[in-house]
Amino acid sequence: MTDLKTSCGLFKWRPAWLQPLADKKVYALIFSIIGAVQGMGFTYMASVLSNIEKQFGIKSEEAAWVYSGNEMSQIFFLLFLPFLSKVKKRPLWTSLALLCSSLGLAICSTPYLFRDKTQYEGGWHIQSSSTHNLCGEESSEEVCQDGGGKVRDYGGMATIFIGIFLTGIGSAFFYSVGIPYIDDNVPKSSSPITLSLILAGRVLGPSLGFLLGSATLRFYVVPDKRPDGITEGDPGWLGAWWLGFLIVAAATAILAPFLSLFPELLPANGEITDARRLSKKEEPTTLKEYFTDLLECSKRLMANKVYVFNSLSAIFMLFGIIGFSTFIPKYFEFHFRQNASSSGGIGGMSKTLGSVIGLIISGIVIQKFKFTARTLSAWNVVVSCVTVLSFLGASFLACPKLEVQTSGCQECNCQSSAFQPTCHLDSSTLFLSPCEAGCKDMGYTVDNKTLYSNCSCINIPSSPLLSSSSSPVTEAVKGFCPFDCDRIFYLTLALFTISILIGSTGRLGNQLISLRAIDPEDKSASMVLLMSALSLFVFFPSPIIFGKIMDRACLVWGSSCGETTNCLLYDTDMMRHNLMYFVTVCAALATVADVGVFVYCKDVVVFDDEEEEQYLEMEGSKEKRKDLVN
C-alpha cells in the first residue's frame, strides 16, 4: 500500500511512475529553479524603477510606497503562518502561494495593457508641453484632463501596489515554509551544500531579473510604435517596463504546480533527518493546546540569545542592503550616466557573480571541514567588517559632478522652460534647456545630433586649447555633457563584487547557526518570527527611507499641469555620500550584533554525529524488540 506521507502526487492520486521523483535532490533542484524565477520578479521591479517613476510621474519616496505592497502582504499574512506551519503538506501550500505571486506579477502589467496607447505616440513627455525650447519661441497651451495631471496616474499606482501585495505571499511561504522543509528532510551532514545550492539559485534569480529588465527597457514602451528620432536616454524615451512582469508571471505559473506534487515527508532512505524525528512528536489536538504550544515556542525563541542576536544582525544589515539594492540601478543611471537598460544588468551581474561563487564555495568548505558555530560566527564578524569598509570606500569613488548653469537669461523668459539638457560645445557646462543658454536657432550635426546656435546667454570664454584669435563658442548640443568616468565606474563595480563575494561566504554559516541554535520543532516558527520582523522593520521602511534620501538629492523636478512629478536631475555628490554613509552605519550595527552571536554561540552544535549515532542505536533497539515480539 502506498504511503501517502512519503509518496509523490495529489490527494489519492499517487502513480508509480511519479515516485522516483520523491527525492531530496530532485526537490532541491526544482525548489532552486522556482526560487530563481521568484527572485527575478523583485529585482526586475528595481531595474525598471526609474521608468515606472516616469510612467506614473512619482517621486522615489512614492515609488517606495508602491513597492511596499510586498512587505505589507508579508506582515499581514505572516500573522497566520503559525497555523500554516502545522499543516502536513508544506510543498502544496508553497505551490499555491507561488501561484498567487504569479497572479500578482501579471496584475502589475495591467496599467499599461489597459491604457490608451495613443498617449505614447511621439514620445512620453514627463513634464508640461507648454514650454519654451528655444529663446523667444512661443509656448503652446498645456492640455490637461479634467484639470488634473496627464502623467500622475493614481489608479495605475494602486494597481501595481495590489499586484506586488499578492506577489509578497509567495516570498513569505518560500522562506517560512520552503526552507525549513528542505532542512528538515536533509541530514545535517549534507545540509550545508544543499542549502548553499538553494540559496545560490535564489541569488541567481535577482541577476536574471536585472538582465530581463535590461532587455525589456531597450524596447520602447509600445514596442511596435517607436517614435522617430527618439532613442534611449532621451527625455521622451520610456522603456517597456511592463513586459518583464508578464514573462516572470508565466514562468512562475508553469513551474509552481510541480512543487505541489512532492510529499509531506521525503523518503529518509535510512538517513537521520529532523523530519523523521518530528514525525514521532505528538502535535497539539485542541485550540487551547495549540496556543499554549505557540506561546511556549515564542518564549523559547525570545530567550535564545543566539537567535536574537542573529536576527538583529540580519535586520541591521538588510536594512541598508535592501534599500540600497532597490535604488542601485537608478544610482548607476544618474551617477555614472549609464542607460537604464544597462545599469540594472551590470549591477545585477556583479552582485550575482560574487554571491553564487561565495555561496557554493562556502557550502563545500563548511561541509568538508565541519566548522564549529564559534568559527562560523567569527567569520561572520569579519564579513560584516569588510562590508563596512567597502561602502565607506565607495563613498570616495566619485564621477565629475554635473554643474548646472543657471544663466538667468532675461531676454528669453525661460521660467516655464522644459528640462532639456543642453551642453555648451566648448566646456563641460550643462544648461537646463536651450532656452536657458539663450539659443535662438537649431540645426543638426553630421552625426545627426541636435545643434543649437546663436546662444547669447552662454557668456563663456573660448577654450584655452584654441588659438587666442578664436571667438567665444556660442553653440551647444542637445544632451548631457560627456565625461569619462568608466574607470571609476568599473572600480566601483569591482569593489561591490568583491564585497558581495566575501559577504556571501558568511550567509550560509549565518543560516546554519540560526537553524541549529533552536529546537527542530521551532524552525518554522523561528522563520515566521524573523520574516515578520524583517517585513515590519526592514523590507517595509528601508526602501521608503532610501527613497527620501534620493529625493533630497534632487536638483530638477518634472511637472505636469501644475503638479510635481519625478526627479529629472540629481546632485550626484549628495546622493553618493548619503547612500554610502547610511549603509555603512547599518553594516556597523550588524557587526556589533554578530559579535553578540560569537559570544553566546559556543554551545551551538552544527554537526552532531554523536547524536545521530545514539538515535540510530535507539531505533535499532526498537526494531529488535519488534522482531522478538513477532
> For the segment 470-505, what is each residue's pLDDT rounded down to a tens digit?
566 778 888 888 777 888 888 988 888 888 888 888
Contact 200, 33 (CB under 8 A): no
> Residues 251, 252, 254, 258: is their CA dihedral positive or negative?
positive
Residue pLDDT, tens place only, 8-58: 888 788 888 888 887 778 888 888 888 888 888 877 887 888 888 888 888
Range in 3-17, 50-64, 337-351, 607-621 the model is least confident about: 607-621
Inter-residue contact 283 to 86 (CB < 8 Å): yes
305 class by beta-carbon count within 10 Å (0-12 exposed, 13-18 middle, 19+ buried): middle
Q: Residue 106: which pLDDT band, with cuts at 50, 70 and 90? A: very high
**Where do we find the cell 495613443?**
118
Question: Residue 91: which of 324, 275, 364, 358 has the closest Cα?
Answer: 275
The answer, yes or no, to whether residue 596 has pLDDT greater than 50, is yes
Q: What is the pLDDT of residue 389?
A: 94
Of the candidate ranges 56-60, 252-256, 459-463, the one whose mean pLDDT is the lowest: 459-463
**pLDDT for 387:** 92
Region 605-615 average pLDDT: 57
d(CA 10, CA 33): 21
pLDDT at 101 exceeding the cut of 80 = yes
Look at residue 460 and tell me whether its pLDDT is greater than 60.
no
Higher per-residue confidence, 321 vs 247: 247
> What's residue 624's pLDDT?
45
Q: Is the pLDDT of residue 360 over 60?
A: yes
Contact between 370 and 605 under an 8 Å Cβ cutoff? The reply is: no
- Return the higher-pLDDT residue of 233 and 538: 538
> 347 pLDDT band (50/70/90 cuts)?
low
Average pLDDT, the chain: 77
Q: What is the pLDDT of residue 341?
A: 60
Q: How many CA atoms lie within 13 A of 261 on its CB side?
A: 21
Name the CATH superfamily, with its identifier, for domain 19-280+291-400+485-613: MFS general substrate transporter like domains (1.20.1250.20)
User: Once rounded to an integer, what is the mean pLDDT over residues 601-615?
Assistant: 64
pLDDT(629) > 50: no
The larger pLDDT score, comparing residue 283 to residue 288, is at: 288
At residue 569, the pLDDT reads 83
Burial track 519-553 (b if 16+ CB lie within 10 A, e otherwise): ebbbbbbbbbbbbbbbbbbbbbbbbbebbebbbeb
Comparing 132 with 71, the larger pLDDT belongs to: 71
Higher pLDDT, 310 or 630: 310
Q: Does residue 223 register a pLDDT over 90?
A: no
Residue 6's pLDDT band (cuts 50, 70, 90):
confident
Greater pLDDT, 483 or 373: 373
**Per residue in 133-161, pLDDT tens?**
788 776 555 555 544 444 567 888 889 99
With a cut of 50, say whether residue 613 has pLDDT above it: no
pLDDT at 128 (0 to 100): 40
Residues 495, 496, 497, 500: is their CA dihedral positive or negative? Answer: positive
pLDDT of residue 29: 84
H/E stretch holding 450 reads: strand 450-455
Question: 382: pLDDT confidence band, cut at 50, 70 and 90?
Answer: very high
Average pLDDT over residues 268-281: 55
pTM beyond 0.85: the answer is no
Mean pLDDT for the stretch of residues 368-389: 89
Comparing 454 with 445, which gets the higher pLDDT? Answer: 454
**Cα–Cα dist 183/191, whole Å:** 7
Give the CA-trace dihedral at 213, 233, 334, 210, to 10 degrees.
10
What was the pLDDT predicted at 81? 52
Residue 454 has pLDDT above 90, yes or no: no
Q: Which residue has the higher pLDDT, 440 or 463?
A: 440
Residue 464 per-residue DSSP state: T
Q: In this predicted model, which residue has the larger pLDDT, 456 or 384?
A: 384
- What is residue 466's predicted lDDT score, i.e. its pLDDT? 41
Considering only residues 459 and 492, tell me which one the structure prediction assigns the higher pLDDT. 492
Distance between CA atoms of 205 and 201, rounded to whole angstroms?
A: 6
Q: Are 522 and 300 in contact (CB under 8 A)?
A: yes
The per-residue pLDDT for range 298-331, each reduced to its tens digit, is 788 888 889 899 889 989 998 998 888 878 878 8
**Would you kindly state where each structural domain of the chain is located, as residue ranges?**
19-280+291-400+485-613, 401-482
The torsion angles phi and psi of 164, rounded to 5 degrees, stand at -70, -35
At position 630, the amino acid (one-letter code) is N
pLDDT at residue 9, rounded to an integer:
83
What is the percent of the chain with per-residue pLDDT over 70, rounded to a whole number? 75
Provide the pLDDT for residue 630.
44
